[in-house]
Amino acid sequence: MTDEGQKRSEVWKYFTVIENNGKKTVKCNLCAIELSYAGGSTGTMMNHIKFKHKSTNLSKPVAQQLKQAPITAFRSPLLSVTREKYQKITQKLALMCARDLRPLSIVEGRGFQEFCTELNPQFKVPSRTTVSNYVTLQYNDAVQKLKDVIKNQIAVAFTSDHWTSLATEGYITMTAHFVDDQWNYRNSVLATRKVTERHTGENTANEIRSISNEFGVNNTQICAIVTDNASNMVSCVEHLRWEHIRCFAHTLQLAIRGGFDNASSLSKTIAATKKLVSHFRKSVIATNELHVRQKQMSLPENNLIIDCPTRWNSTFDMFERLQEQRMAVYAVLHDKKVTKENDARILDLSDGQWLILEGMITVLRPFYMATRVMCSEEYPTVSGVSSSQAKGFRSVTLPTNPWQITPLKLWPAVATPSGCSIY
């Protein structure tokens, strides 16, 4: 069969014959690959089109086959939004706002609405009021399920505390702890409520009793309540007449703070360290230069931490981070282009203060670890304090006044900068 006759095949719409030194090959017009061509056979070309260019249709005109498909051809079919589907999507949206702590106003954002439209133009974003109603429905459902679980429990323990938001608003949070029927340790936040009245013991007791009654917990089920050592919380439990367990971690931190106040050299070192860290936190120039020095010295690019009395272990964190960044901090303080000479003289710690800082890291580390262990939510911690069988611990009775706490021999004695020992 002649070449002229063979070119009647539609496969030639995609190939061009190339002659080179009397040898013929064919070139694919779609991917530019060259194939051998001998004997006038088009089988190789047909297989190439069949397996490498599956989207082609040999029955279509060449111009139509080579035309690029529009982007809409690859779009998935639009999902029809039935009433049931719309409700499920709205439920998930409300759940996202609740779990991820997102504001309900997210549904009013233009970017969020455009995102939903792109996913499915047939879905109409619900209003803020609708999402709020769904959140309320889901909350009521979760509360009822929790009530059903708690009412079957033999013993339930509570933890509670007051706290203040960034907007200087007072709140109280109450958590229930119990072991379910499958012997799984469970803890659930029962409520976080805004408190507008004075935080007296009586008012706090009324609030806690109200939350307990709301979830149907009777006095026979309540085995204990854990609070800090604040006088109003102590008075609160006296009004409730429940078994009171004072937070061991809080007691430990109060004892540590008391030790700081009783050691003048240590309290002065803490004050000087906080002043130094505050300088870097308030100065953009000093902070930027600190990052430059960290890179030059191959130090971790961490920010300095400042001590906060209400944040447990923050003194240890401040000392440890400053010790880590000591060389970078020193370089910034003694760079006259960044720090004034008079400021450097005031801010720089003395050799004695650096020694105290270094020594206190060793002293405070066991307390840091103990606090972390005692603040766990994954397992009961009271046995680590009160059980004489717990390895490394001895049975102790916490004093009514936390300042009267006696040293607990939980770890081997370690030397302090002053040469004394602490347990």
Percentages of the chain per state (helix, strand, coil), in multiples of 5: 50, 15, 35
The chain-wide mean pLDDT, for the chain, equals: 82
186-221: pLDDT as tens digits:
889 999 999 999 999 999 999 999 999 999 999 999
Decide if 107 contacts 131 (C-beta within 8 A). Answer: yes
Listed in sequence order, the residues at least 6 apart from 113 whose beta carbon sits closer than 8 Å to its beta carbon are 107, 125
Q: Is the dihedral of CA 380, 371, 234, 407 positive or negative?
A: positive
3-state SS assignment for residue 33: coil
129-165: pLDDT as tens digits:
999 999 999 999 999 999 999 998 999 999 999 998 8
pLDDT of residue 399: 39
| CATH class held by domain 155-246 | alpha beta
Q: pTM of the predicted model, to two decimals?
A: 0.64
- Stretch 401-422: mean pLDDT: 34
pLDDT of residue 150: 93
Decide if 394 contacts 408 (C-beta within 8 A). Answer: yes
3-state SS assignment for residue 382: coil
96-106: pLDDT as tens digits:
999 999 999 99
And the tokens for 172? Answer: 């109280």
Q: What are phi and psi of 162, to 5 degrees?
A: -90, 150
Say whether pLDDT at 77 is over 80: no
Pairwise pLDDT comparison (1 vs 49), residue with the higher score = 49
351-384: pLDDT as tens digits:
999 999 999 999 999 999 988 888 877 777 766 6
Buried b (16+ CB within 10 A) or exposed e, 322-355: bebbeebbebbbeeeebbeeeebeebbbeeebbe
> CA–CA distance from 301 to each of 226, 292, 307, 346 (Å)?
39, 9, 19, 25
